[in-house]
Amino acid sequence: MLKKSLKLLSLTDYEDEIELHMHPLPHYGYCLLQSAKLAKKLGLNEMSALEFGVATGNGLIVLEQHAKRIEEITGIQIQIYGFDLSSGLPQPQDYRDLPYHFKQGHFRMNIEELRAKLTRSTLVIGDVKDTVLNFFNIYNPAKVGAIFFDLDYYSSTRDALEILKSDPNHFIPRVFCYFDDVIGGVKELYNDYTGERLAINDFNAENHDVKLGIPYYLRSQSNARWKEMIWIAHLFNNGEYNVTST
């Protein structure tokens, strides 16, 4: 009731609305807004957001809604790209993909049905280990500011993270990243030795010039679970890394 009343009275700005969970997938809105604010400070007119693991497309549709509002607020035009195999989860490679919880074929996409619902997003269909390699050459996107990972498996997330090894100037210097499968519950039992958490840890261990860092200011705020599911990709070799804060 309080949220509805505040909205009707226009007593909140968009950041307040996100904090109060007045929009679906507030973490999408938060990451997109913060990255757009940094892009604006850097003098950019546009940026890109990527979602890895589209499935039925509900997240991508909500991301489009957030993008429309954030464009109005910041003036930054937002391109959106959704990566997916379309045929559902592939065969798990080993225990790191949590086959006790995830199964081959889960989260299948109806491509044509989804495309009819989307208003601005571009679908990048194929195995992520292949599509990330030529993404920038084929699509020539605006600099990437936010990435949303929802690939479930260790192996798929590991392959998707390869995109952060691309030319650092394809990105804004600090990229807001959300990982969907890092907390879960008693069924999933996510941990640092399997799944997305292991992919994050392995990426950091193997790379020197780009690291996925925990935003401790968010982790200190215990009012929303999604705040513990965000990492920041720090691209130390990005030419604008030392220019400005968000």
Q: Where is pLDDT greater, at 245 or 127? A: 127
In a domain, 71, yes or no: yes
Query: Given this model, what pLDDT does residue 24 score?
Result: 92
In a domain, 10, yes or no: no
In a domain, 243, yes or no: no
Is 57 within 8 Å of 28 (Cβ atoms)?
no
Would you call 235 helix, strand, or coil by DSSP?
strand
Q: Which CATH number belongs to the domain containing residue 94 in this structure?
A: 3.40.50.150
The H or E element spanning position 83 is: strand 77-84
- Number of independent structural domains in the chain: 1
Segment 145-164 shows an average pLDDT of 98
In a domain, 22, yes or no: no
Segment 188-197 shows an average pLDDT of 98
In a domain, 117, yes or no: yes
How does strand 144-149 pair with strand 171-179?
parallel
Please give the residue range of the domain that contains residue 171. Answer: 28-235
Residue 10 pLDDT greater than 50, yes or no? no
Residue 7 pLDDT greater than 60, yes or no? no
Rounded CA-CA distance 190/186 in Å is: 9
Query: Given this model, what pLDDT does residue 12 score?
Result: 54
In a domain, 23, yes or no: no
Rounded CA-CA distance 116/140 in Å is: 23
Query: What are 175's strand-pairing partners?
Result: 233
Per-residue pLDDT of 65-75, as tens digits, reads 999 999 999 99
